[in-house]
Chains A and B, each alone.
Chain A
Amino acid sequence: MNLYAVRSIYLFEMARTWRTLLQSIVSPVISTSLYFVVFGSAIGSRIDAIDGVDYGAFIVPGLIMLSLLTQSISNAAFGIYFPRFTGTIFEILSAPVSYLEIVLSYVGAAATKSILLGLIILATASLFVPLTIVHPVWMLLFLVLTAVTFSLFGFIIGIWADSFEKLQFVPMLVVTPLTFLGGSFYAIDMLPPFWRTVSLFNPVVYLVSGFRWSFFGTADVAIGVSLAMTLVFLGICLAVVAWIFRTGYRLKN
């Protein structure tokens, strides 16, 4: 294991985070606060408690997930896309590092950043609504698992993309809708039966549900199913990354 290399890439990526602190941390915090003002206070005050959870608190896990997903994807995608775009990737490819080490450092840095972000949003949310977390360890587990899985997903997008448009395409046009329709702002039970069935094909439903369970102890789907679905998605991403490196897809001519 080339630990010096993993450390170098990881610190390089984290340095990029600190350099772009405003864009990385501040803007998601502001947008989350806006969601609270609009959904939590303005609209939420007219919505009944769901499963005994006040609506303002109810949307917290969903909001964190929303940021976690989009940020994990865009951080990781950008982190690997940019060196490909500028050509500095040559150095990584010519270095004595294994694919595992490359993934570990890039995905590790992207996940670190979004986990920090998730915790910051959680702290911000607690300023708006009183929060108690029923299963804090599970909460952290879901946070980390989701951050890692979607950073891997973002890494794949960053390798697949050959333009900045494509880089933005997936987060904008796929992940955001899936998250909004994934029960971030409502319980799946509130939907008509047909849409409830459709929702079960949306992977984000399982993430949000599991994450919400760790907060309130209630969920749309069983916690075991949520965890299993997350792990399945993680496995799929790992398999795709392994394939990318085995074939050199979009990395080596």
Chain B
Amino acid sequence: MHPIISVSNLSKTYASGFQALKNVDLEIRAGEIFALLGPNGAGKTTLISIICGIVRASEGRVLADGYDIVKDYRAARSKIGLVPQELTTDAFETVWATVSFSRGLFGKPPNPPLVERVLKDLSLWEKKDNKIITLSGGMKRRVLIAKALAHEPQILFLDEPTAGVDVELRQDMWRLVRELRDTGVTIILTTHYIEEAEEMADRIGVINKGEIVLVEEKAELMRKLGRKRLILHLQNPLASVPQSLADHRLELSAHGSELIYTYDTQGERTGITALLADLDRAGIRFKDLETEQSSLEEIFVSLVRERS
């Protein structure tokens, strides 16, 4: 199956001379939820803006559902909906008018029942005749989502959809995103929050300083995350790991006062019981023990650090 979005060799240098994207290659699969994770200024918004036609690429090309976003911009753009990071809405329009406007703008004939459904899905129905300026920030965010959905896009970009959104709305939003995915919409979202990517995404991409540093199935990432470390604080420091414990592939650290055992929580057996029995037999005593799990957060931070 060909990817629904294919970004190849994409670079962007702003007029200021700042290079925000460096030879980015990325493929998004049809029907998936893809989370783009990265620190402030990593280039997430720049990447999305180029795909949506708001920013011009300096180099490289992007295909959306097989259409070149520059040459076949009409076909490409009519498939895409964008919820921007900033709360940019008109002020004096009503909710109903602005959502209907978006539908027309994307070349679709008026369809009041559809607009009604979108507004109801986003709990905006009671506000349909209110001017946008009278809405709260969270409601404005929902209006932006409604606008993006008004033309029934096949691909939906959500640029930090949960910034400044309360827990309840966040959950509503995730429910909506899943429902959309179930109807076949491909969703690309950016976030700073690892839990969010963890909870929602099928695949996760990490971007830092304009470069994609990792793209992985979430399940695969989680498997990597499934590794745990058991740390034993020894009563008496060791100079080296005794020969009798060699099978356990232990590491010695903190000047010989800690033994570290790495194991897979998802494996058949962890080997902890055997290790403890062998330690006892070797006469090694410990005063404390702890376990550690490397989180996506850690992987993320170490990836981001590595590059800087």
| Cross-chain contact of B90 among A4, A9, A88, A98 (Cβ < 8 A) | A88
Known contacts A12-B101, A88-B88, A96-B73; is A252 also within 8 Å of B54 by CB? yes
On whether A5 and B54 interact (CB within 8 A), knowing A15-B97, A90-B84, A90-B88, the answer reads no
Residues of B close to A96: CB separation below 8 A: 73-78, 106-107
- Asked if residues A94 and B54 are in contact (CB atoms below 8 Å), the reply is yes
- Interface assignment of B193: CB less than 8 Å from any CB of chain A: no
Contact residues in B for A12 (Cβ distance below 8 Å):
93, 101
Q: Whole-angstrom distance from the CB of A106 to the nearest CB of chain B?
A: 13
Question: Within the assembled complex, what's the spacing in Å between the Cα atoms of A4 and B88?
Answer: 22
In the bound complex, how far is the Cα of B100 from the Cα of A95, in angstroms?
A: 14
- Distance in angstroms from B159 CB to nearest chain A CB is 10
Q: Which residues in B have their C-beta under 8 angstroms from that of A193? A: none
Q: Is A92 an interface residue (CB 8 A)?
A: yes
Of chain B, the residue at the smallest CB distance from A87 is: B88
* B56 x A91 contact (CB < 8 A): no
Q: Is the CB of B88 within 8 A of A94?
A: no
How many A-B pairs fall under 8 Å by CB?
Answer: 77
Q: Is A86 interfacial (CB-CB < 8 Å)?
A: yes
**Given contacts A8-B104, A9-B105, A94 and B14 within 8 Å (CB-CB):** no
Interface residues on A, range: 20 to 34
A87–B15 CA distance with the chains assembled, in angstroms: 19
CA distance A4 to B104 in the complex (A): 5
A8 touches B88 (CB 8 A): no
Count residues of chain B with CB under 8 A from any CB of chain A. Answer: 36
Which label, helix, strand, loop or mixed, suits the secondary structure of the A interface? helix
Question: Which residues of B have CB within 8 Å of A97?
Answer: 105, 107
Q: Does B88 lie within 8 Å of A86, measured CB to CB? A: yes
Q: Is the CB of A248 closer than 8 A to any CB of chain B? A: yes
In the assembled complex, A253 has its CB within 8 A of some CB on chain B = yes
Q: Which residues of chain B from 91 to 105 have a CB within 8 Å of any chain A CB?
A: 91-93, 97, 100-105
A94→B86 contact, CB < 8 A:
no
Residues of A within 8 A of B84 (CB): 87, 90
Chain A proximity of B81: nearest CB distance (Å): 9
Please measure, in the bound complex, the distance between the C-alpha atom of A9 and the C-alpha atom of B100, giving whole angstroms: 11
Type the 1/0 row for A77-103, where 1 means its CB is closer than 8 Å to any CB of B: 000000000111011111111100000
What is the bound-complex CA distance between A87 and B93, given in angstroms?
Answer: 15
Q: What chain B residues lie within 8 Å of A91 (beta carbons)?
A: 82, 102, 105, 147
- B41-56: which residues lie under 8 A (CB-CB) from chain A? 49, 52-56
Tell me whether B89 is interfacial, beta carbon within 8 Å: yes
Chain B residues whose CB sits within 8 angstroms of the CB of A253 once the complex forms: 14-15, 49, 55-56
Q: CA of A97 to CA of B100 in the docked complex: distance in angstroms? A: 16
> How long is the Cα–Cα vector from A6 to B59 in the complex, in angstroms?
31
A7 to B106, CA, bound (A): 11
Segment 8-25 of B: residues with Cβ below 8 Å from A: 14-15
Taking a contact as CB atoms closer than 8 A, the residue among A8, A19, A93 that contacts B53 in the complex is: A93
Interface residue? B109 (CB, 8 A): yes
Residues in chain B near residue A93, CB distance under 8 A: 52-54
**Known interface pairs A90-B84, A248-B56, A253-B15; A95-B105 also in contact (CB < 8 Å):** yes
Instruction: Report B103 CB to chain A, min CB distance, Å.
Output: 8
| A23 close to B (CB within 8 Å) | no
Residue of chain B at shortest CB distance from A97 = B105
A contact residues around B88 at 8 Å (CB): 86-88, 90
Complex-state Cα separation, A5 to B77, whole angstroms: 13
Q: Does B285 lie at the interface of the complex (its beta carbon under 8 Å from any beta carbon of A)?
A: no
Q: Is A2 close to B, CB under 8 A?
A: yes
- Judging by beta carbons under 8 Å apart, are B56 and A5 in contact? no
The residue on A at minimum CB distance from B79 is A96
Q: CA A98 – CA B108 in complex, angstroms? A: 15
Say whether B207 faces chain A, with CB atoms less than 8 Å apart: no
Give the residue of B76, B78, B92, B108 whose beta carbon is less than 8 angstroms from that of A19.
B92
- The residue of chain A having its C-beta at the shortest distance from the C-beta of B55 within the complex is A253
The verdict on B33 contacting chain A, using a C-beta distance below 8 Å, is: no
Query: Contacting B106 at CB < 8 Å: which of A95, A98, A248, A252?
Result: A95
For A95, list chain B residues within 8 Å (CB): 77, 105-107
User: Do A8 and B77 touch across chains, with their CB atoms under 8 A apart?
Assistant: no
A sample of 7 cross-chain residue pairs with beta-carbon separation below 8 angstroms, ordered by A number, consists of A15-B93, A90-B54, A91-B105, A94-B82, A96-B73, A96-B78, A253-B55
Residues of B within 8 A of A (CB): 14-15, 49, 52-56, 73-78, 80, 82, 84, 86, 88-93, 97, 100-109, 147
Q: Point out residues on A near B: beta carbons under 8 Å.
A: 2, 4-5, 7-9, 12, 15-16, 19, 86-88, 90-98, 248, 252-253
9 new A-B contacts at CB < 8 Å, known A12-B93, A93-B54, A252-B55: A4-B109, A5-B104, A8-B100, A15-B97, A87-B88, A94-B53, A94-B77, A97-B105, A253-B49
